[in-house]
Amino acid sequence: MGKVLMKGNEVIGEAAILAGCHYFFGYPITPQSELVAYMAKRLPEVKGLFLQAESEVSAINMVYGASSAGVRVMTSSSSPGFSLKQEGISYLAAANLPAVIVNIARGGPGLGNIQPSQSDYFQVTKGGGHGDYYTPVLAPSTLQEIVDLTQEAFRIADQYRTPVILLGDGMLGQMMEPVEFLKTDNQIVIDKEWATTGTKGDGSPKTITSLDLNDVKLEERNCKLQEKYKLIRRNEIKVDTYLMEDAEMAIVAYGTVARICQSAIDRVRDEGMKIGLIRPISLWPYPTDVIASYCERLNKIVVVEMSAGQMVEDVRLSVEGKVPISFYGRTGGIIPTVEELVEQFQMHGNGVLR
Amino acid sequence: MKVVFERSKGLLNTETHYCPGCTHGIIHRLVAETLEEMDVLEQTIGVASVGCSVLSYQYFNCDMTQAAHGRAPAVATGIKRVLPKDRIVFTYQGDGDLASIGMGEIVHAAARGENITVIFVNNAIYGMTGGQMAPTSLLGQRTATSPEGRQPQTQGLPIRVSEMLATLDGASYIERVSTHDVAHVMKAKKAIRKAFLTQQEEKGFSMVEVLSTCPTNWGLNPEESLQWVKQEMVPYYPLGVYKDRQYKGEES
């Protein structure tokens, strides 16, 4: 097929179709609306279904219904709308239903604004809704990476029977880059014998529920969920590193901001600073051990986020006090520039690098 | 020996949790018998809601999915839209679930002409949570959250859901029935059958509102409860067909 120039939001849509997702229930909200529009146009062409729901709440519950009927299904939103989906995501997690939910995050809290932000990190990585649950979270930093991670999101969702979050920001959703739609190697097809599709031919009725009034049984059910999370933690950690081989100072950043950090790192490297980048791709499960493995060599870690400091807490948990950590963040939809990051890295690197 | 009465094949052989005198059991049976008679049990997916009927997935002998509070019509939409057309999808919802928290979902499912069947059980109260005021509670009705009786100035007026949904062009078949005596139970069965046939014939959205009892939270015995439906509820919620469109997109 070769490379095509596309917008981030549209790339998510096409990658989902490549992953075999033919059902999408959406609701408009900036800056993810192009995804909804793309699916409205594109899904009928592949004999799929796009439906615009009356609210984000309804859209996620349509996803719950479609997933319980055994199909690959997706919905998307942006921060305030994502909050509205949170109840449904808790139900999906509890009922062991696979689905992919996209959050093209914007400035918050409240209605905030429509500029890019990473301030939904806590919400997506720490469960977000009620109850003891997690959702795997994948955070691409380029449009090409969206192609892979969207497919991975569906693979993980089906393999573990769990909702999976694809987290981007307004910048990733709105920017255009050339991409190639290549299938990932680890495609799976799961026989969803648990789906409620009618009992025809398969005996006794199946039920999908998150309710268990018996405390002992509910604890058993919760323990099974935790077992699943253990397995996901073991198998599904994704992380990228850049110039970490000899680094004495590490920048930890994810998503689009990691790209800006990379440019700033190149500039500072030119001045002789031994600095590298650790870019978590799976935000849950978090690459704790990978970050910890660099502790011996590092004199300093700087965490950069478009938030008031959320992922920095996971970095602190990873290094357990062994390396001094600084944080630099911008909020409200402001994207840090390369120049301002260079200045930060120089300041923090000053005196700590050998 | 001749069998004169037996459990519907549409119901599982289990005891329900419903209170004595509650008509959920009758309504379950009417739905189950209808699905059995139409021979569609094996291709039916039911959606349980939140409230007293939350455990209905343990009683119906068909595939069942349990939805979040008020969201059953959205869940049913998701199921219906992705499965082959021969599947029958229904929701079973109470008045707290459908007429309060789930008002958005039911209105838009009807407006879309979603080809599902909704069994709407209206007993004018929240049962499961202990007898609080519902949007359908009658004026003057004493509940845990309207201890002095529902007052229009402070608590507003009861909602007539069937009449309201019938105004939507997307709705195809809407009828209100009651369970307060045998004759009305038989009529309710006919309405439920008509609603499922509407879906099977792909005519779009169908809903049967069934007036039902809650002896426990009304503080009445089962017999008094049936009388209360007849004397208090039916006058405010008149029985009858509110919408019966022959074809999608065409009024009868």
pLDDT digits (tens), chain B, 252 positions: 899 999 999 999 999 999 999 999 999 999 999 999 999 999 999 999 999 999 999 999 999 999 999 999 999 999 999 999 999 999 999 999 999 999 999 999 999 999 999 999 999 999 999 999 999 999 999 999 999 999 999 999 999 999 999 999 999 999 999 999 999 999 999 999 999 999 999 999 999 999 999 999 999 999 999 999 999 999 999 999 999 986 555 444
For residue B101, being part of any structural domain is answered with yes
For residue B14, being part of any structural domain is answered with no
pLDDT at B1: 85
Helix, strand, coil content of chain B in percent (nearest 5): 40, 20, 40
Range of the domain at B198: 24-244
* A226 close to B (CB below 8 A): no
Instruction: Give the mutation candidate from B49, B64, B65 for the A interface (greatest A CB count, under 10 A).
Output: B65
CB B109 within 8 A of CB B79: no
* A52 close to B (CB below 8 A): no
Q: What angle do CA B29, B31, B34 make, to 5 degrees?
A: 105
What distance in Å separates the CA atoms of residue B107 and residue B73, rounded to the nearest whole number?
Answer: 9
CATH number of A3-235: 3.40.50.970
In this predicted structure, the answer to whether residue A315 has a pLDDT above a threshold of 90 is yes
Q: CATH 3.40.50.970 residue ranges in chain A? A: 3-235
What distance in Å separates the CA atoms of residue A139 and residue A105, rounded to the nearest whole number?
Answer: 11
* B68 close to A (CB below 8 A): yes
Considering only the C-alpha atoms of chain A, give the largest distance between any 2 of them, rounded to a whole number of Å. Answer: 72
Residue-wise pLDDT tens digits, A195-243: 999 988 667 899 999 999 999 999 999 999 999 999 999 999 999 999 9
For residue B18, being part of any structural domain is answered with no
In this predicted structure, the answer to whether residue A20 has a pLDDT above a threshold of 70 is yes
Average model confidence (pLDDT) across chain A = 96
Average pLDDT over residues A298-307: 97
Shortest Cα distance, chain A CAs vs residue B224, angstroms:
31
List the single residue in B54, B55, B62 with the smallest CB-CB distance to A205: B62
pLDDT at B247: 56
List the single residue in B67, B87, B105 with the smallest CB-CB distance to A198: B87
The H-assigned helical ranges of A69-133 are 79-94, 121-125
> pLDDT confidence of A305, banded at 50, 70, 90?
very high
Chain B residues near residue A57 by CB distance under 8 angstroms: 71, 74, 104-105
CATH of the domain at B70: 3.40.50.970
List the single residue in A65, A200, A210 with the smallest CB-CB distance to B75: A65
The H-assigned helical ranges of B38-172 are 72-82, 95-96, 103-111, 152-155, 161-166
CATH class of A241-349: alpha beta
Q: CATH 3.40.50.920 residue ranges in chain A? A: 241-349
Shortest Cα distance, chain A CAs vs residue B107, angstroms:
10
What distance in Å separates the CA atoms of residue A142 and residue A165, rounded to the nearest whole number?
Answer: 16
The H-assigned helical ranges of chain A are 8-18, 33-42, 56-68, 79-94, 121-125, 143-160, 170-174, 215-235, 255-270, 288-293, 312-319, 338-349
Of residues B44, B117, B38, B104, the one with CA closest to residue B71: B104
For residue B234, being part of any structural domain is answered with yes
Shortest Cα distance, chain A CAs vs residue B200, angstroms:
15
Entry pTM: 0.96
CB B147 within 8 A of CB B237: no
User: What b/e sequence results for B9-26 when a residue is b if at least 16 CB atoms lie within 10 Å of its CB, and e otherwise?
Assistant: ebbbeeebebbebbbbbb
Token duo for residue A282: 């799976």
Phi-psi region of A113 (alpha: psi -120 to 50; beta: other; left: phi over 0): beta
* B106 close to A (CB below 8 A): no
For residue B100, being part of any structural domain is answered with yes
Average pLDDT over residues A270-275: 93
Of residues A26, A6, A1, the one with CA closest to residue A172: A6
For residue B159, being part of any structural domain is answered with yes
What distance in Å separates the CA atoms of residue A258 and residue A252, rounded to the nearest whole number?
Answer: 8
Residue-wise pLDDT tens digits, A41-71: 999 999 999 999 999 999 999 999 999 999 9
Of residues A174, A169, A172, the one with CA closest to residue A116: A169
Token duo for residue B158: 């009861």
- DSSP letter assigned to residue B24: H
Task: Please state the domain count of chain B.
Answer: 1
pLDDT at B252: 44
Of residues B220, B129, B130, the one with CA closest to residue B180: B220
Beta strand ranges found along chain B (DSSP E): 44-48, 63-66, 88-94, 117-122, 171-178, 205-211, 240-244
User: What b/e sequence results for A252-273 when a residue is b if at least 16 CB atoms lie within 10 Å of its CB, and e otherwise?
Assistant: bbbbbbbbbbbebbebbeeeeb
